[in-house]
Structure 1
Amino acid sequence: MKPLTIQRWLLTNGLLLALLAVTLAVCACVGVPIDLRDALANWGKPNPSFDILFRTRIPRVLLAAVVGAALAPAGVVFQALLRNPLADPYILGVSAGGSLGAVTAIALGLDMTFLGISPVSLYTFAGALLAIALVYAIARPRGAVGVNTLLLAGIIVSYFLSAITMAITYVSDPYQSQKILRWLMGGLYLVSFQDLARSLPWVVAGFVAMFALARNLNLLTFGEESALQLGVDVERTKKVTFVVASLVTAAAVSVSGPIGFVGLIVPHAMRLIVGPDHRILLPASFLAGGLFLTVADTLARRLVAPTEIPVGVITALCGGPFFIWLLYRRQKRAFVS
């Protein structure tokens, strides 16, 4: 592990922040040509350029950045907590719970926005909270949270809730089933600043909490016994990281649906670039996750314009080749050594 210095931390995250800012500005301008000067000159007035830029594109690119910035550090935390490089933010059932909530809302016909509030988002968040509560209750019958027990509890809850989701989808009418399928693919359709305002506080607060535990996560990678000997309250760290990372994931899923691979690709890519120290890995993943999903969402809406590809398809297409390359790289290193 390279020694972490203030200069290295500031340089790495400063470069990522600048790159993210440029990417947001460029992606907000990609699409149907608009008169930017006209949009800025007619701030707040009825104007097509203003509406396209400030009510469609800017909320969407900002929300894509927020969702990516939620999923990537959550993936880092789950990989450290479970000591599993293939762990992602959805491995403990949060996505399955959120999907059940969203599918229930759509099946009940509650998919219309009212006063800027989407019942689907509320049901999604509630479903994700239900999954978190179930996993936590199953994993700690005697107070302690075992890593293997937590993982098994997540898998059990995920399969159970997914079965209910499939049953609801099966009995829904074709029109509702189409809406459900579109939501389950993940995407950032018809988003607004209200969606951003609902998710941003959860993501920022959750990231601050995860970053505060970066030292403990570093020590946990050496094993629970070693961390305990070095003064880490292992049980408290596991409980807090599980709850915080799950809540951040729930906030992301509630506005975007389940978008896969962000919490897998970005942590591994950043680990290759900045190293395994969570004090720099977490903020780097936070910024790189926002950058990655912003670019992926822009590709999703422009590759086959005027129609859209679900952004989950784009992230999966990136994730497959990346992990093939990563596996090949590790095998090559093992062969050389």
Structure 2
Amino acid sequence: MKVRASRVTLLAALAAVLAVSVVLAVGCGSTPIAARDVLHAIAAHVLDGVPASATNDAIVWEIRLPRVLLGALVGAALALAGAVLQAATANRLADPHLLGVSAGASVGAVAATLWLGAAWGALTLPGCAFAGALAATALVIACGTHGTRHRQFDAQRLLLAGVAISFVLMALANLLLYLGDQRSATSVLFWMLGGLGLARWSLLGVPAALVGIGALLLLGRRRELDALMSGDVAAVTLGVNVARLRRELFVVCSLLTAGMVAVSGAIGFVGLVAPHVARRFAGASHARMLPVCALVGAIMLIWADVIARTLIAPDDLPIGVVTGLFGGVFFVWLVRGAR
């Protein structure tokens, strides 16, 4: 009973921090808006009221709130994918983008910019980025399996395949950019460095659905994930089909990451850092850790975005630069600690 109460208390505290972070982050920017004005603008839309200021209403509801909510969704998705991949590969340094998803999305975005333009309207670039991410993931999974009759997953082989294919795809993306024009380079820079500038209310539906469905599927495998952390032999002894479980986990994580990359570009290190922070709070049990990890990832990316759009305001710094700087320092500390 005490364990359940502490878990509920922890989740409630993090949910409160997330809610406060959303309100404060919406108020931050080149035009600061007080928290009470942010709440008033949101309440005016939710309760069909009259906004106090048309300017504040437009900034809050049309620009900043969708961006902050998209950041929370992307952060939660990358954190969940990172936590599960670290368990599936038995490697605490695993990250969703090691699967080559970001590089595949960049190639898809470059190809769309060079050859399609706006053929399918506003969904052209995100759609091609998503297709490229899925294609890269399929290629990594194909290279990361062995056996002719029963395709078996090899965790280390998968990670090595992801790193190698990422290098190849990024080289291809850079080659296409070099052969293209300046407009192409500017458009694709978003996917290569990451950002939330595309955030609109109409874009939130798919990421929200992916996060919800992905979280339910991964939480449904929480006991198998705990068994997998003990090693393949122990997991098999407990009745877990390790090969099938890894296949399901990699597919779900790849879809989660690809969907987020399609709307936010390549944002690294969230999937590496958030699971380690979550384990400090919730322990190694995935029933406790996964919800905490999602909330931690959402909070982290919200504040990373605040730094990105206020550090050199009124211009936006690519959010991938911010997460890379902080995540790189954390990575070095983690490696030194592991040694």
Q: If the length of structure 2 is used for normalisation, what is the TM-score?
A: 0.89
Structure 2 counterpart SS, 1:177: helix
Give the letter aligned to residue 175 of structure 2: A
Matching residue of 1:249:
257
Aligned counterparts, 1:1-337, within 5 A: 5-31=3-29, 32-33=31-32, 37=40, 40=44, 41-42=49-50, 47-108=54-115, 110=117, 114=121, 117-140=122-145, 141-142=147-148, 143-330=151-338
Q: Cα–Cα, structure 1 residues 229 and 309, in superposed 2: closer, same or farther, change >3 Å?
A: same
Contact kept? 2:110, 2:184, Cα under 8 Å: no
Shift of 1:247: 0.5
CA deviations 1:123-166 (Å, max 9, x no partner) are: 11111111122222333353222223322332333233222212
What is the aligned residue count? 326
Structure 2 counterpart SS, 1:246: helix
Contact kept? 2:77, 2:294, Cα under 8 Å: yes
Is 15-24 or 170-179 further displaced after alignment?
170-179
Structure 2 counterpart SS, 1:118: helix
Identity of paired residues, percent?
A: 39
Is 16-25 or 133-142 further displaced after alignment?
133-142
Shift of 1:169: 1.0
Q: If the length of structure 1 is used for normalisation, what is the TM-score?
A: 0.90
Query: Partners of 1:16 and 1:218 in 2: how far apart?
Result: 23
CA deviations 1:188-238 (Å, max 9, x no partner) are: 114101111121101211111111111111111111111101111111110
Contact kept? 2:207, 2:259, Cα under 8 Å: yes
Contact kept? 1:203, 1:251, Cα under 8 Å: no
Q: Cα–Cα, structure 1 residues 129 and 183, in superposed 2: closer, same or farther, change >3 Å?
A: closer
Give the letter aligned to residue 62 of structure 1: L
Q: Cα–Cα, structure 1 residues 38 and 165, in superposed 2: closer, same or farther, change >3 Å?
A: closer
Q: Cα–Cα, structure 1 residues 170 and 263, in superposed 2: closer, same or farther, change >3 Å?
A: same
Is 221-230 or 316-325 further displaced after alignment?
316-325
Shift of 1:167: 1.4
Query: Partners of 2:97 and 2:65 in 1: how far apart?
Result: 27
Shift of 1:279: 1.4
Structure 1 counterpart SS, 2:294: helix
Contact kept? 2:78, 2:271, Cα under 8 Å: yes
Contact kept? 2:110, 2:177, Cα under 8 Å: yes
Contact kept? 2:41, 2:60, Cα under 8 Å: no
**CA RMSD of superposed structures (Å):** 2.3
Query: Partners of 2:14 and 2:335 in 1: how far apart?
Result: 26
Q: Cα–Cα, structure 1 residues 4 and 147, in superposed 2: closer, same or farther, change >3 Å?
A: farther
Contact kept? 1:219, 1:226, Cα under 8 Å: yes
Q: Which runs of 5+ in 2 are unaligned?
A: none
Shift of 1:294: 0.4
Query: Partners of 2:259 and 2:27 in 1: how far apart?
Result: 27
Contact kept? 1:56, 1:190, Cα under 8 Å: no
Is 268-277 or 322-331 further displaced after alignment?
322-331
Structure 2 counterpart SS, 1:5: helix
Query: Partners of 1:330 and 1:254 in 2: how far apart?
Result: 33
Contact kept? 1:65, 1:294, Cα under 8 Å: yes
Contact kept? 2:99, 2:163, Cα under 8 Å: yes
Shift of 1:98: 1.2
Q: Cα–Cα, structure 1 residues 119 and 327, in superposed 2: closer, same or farther, change >3 Å?
A: same
Shift of 1:301: 0.6
Shift of 1:112: 8.6
Q: Which runs of 5+ in 1 are unaligned?
A: 332-337
Q: Cα–Cα, structure 1 residues 57 and 5, in superposed 2: closer, same or farther, change >3 Å?
A: same
Structure 2 counterpart SS, 1:151: helix
Shift of 1:327: 4.3
